[in-house]
Amino acid sequence: MMDNSAHLSFWGMHLLWWVVWLVLLYWIFAVPYNIPGQRSKKDTPLDILKKRFAQGEINKEEFLEKKKLLEE
Higher pLDDT, 54 or 9: 54
Higher pLDDT, 15 or 6: 15
Residues 23 and 52 in one domain: no
Residues 2 and 32 in one domain: yes
Residues 33 and 46 in one domain: no
Q: Total domain count for the chain?
A: 2
Q: Domain limits at 50?
A: 42-72
Q: Are the CB atoms for 63 and 53 separated by under 8 Å?
A: yes
pLDDT digits (tens, 9 = 90+) for 27-71: 878 766 666 665 666 788 999 999 999 999 999 999 999 999 989
Residues 34 and 1 in one domain: yes
Residues 28 and 1 in one domain: yes
| pTM exceeding the 0.85 threshold for the entire prediction | no
Residues 2 and 27 in one domain: yes
Question: Quick one: pLDDT band at residue 8, thresholds 50, 70, 90?
Answer: low
Residues 4 and 32 in one domain: yes
- pLDDT on residue 27: 82
**CB atoms inside a 10 Å sphere around CB 49:** 19
Q: Are the CB atoms for 39 and 33 separated by under 8 Å?
A: yes
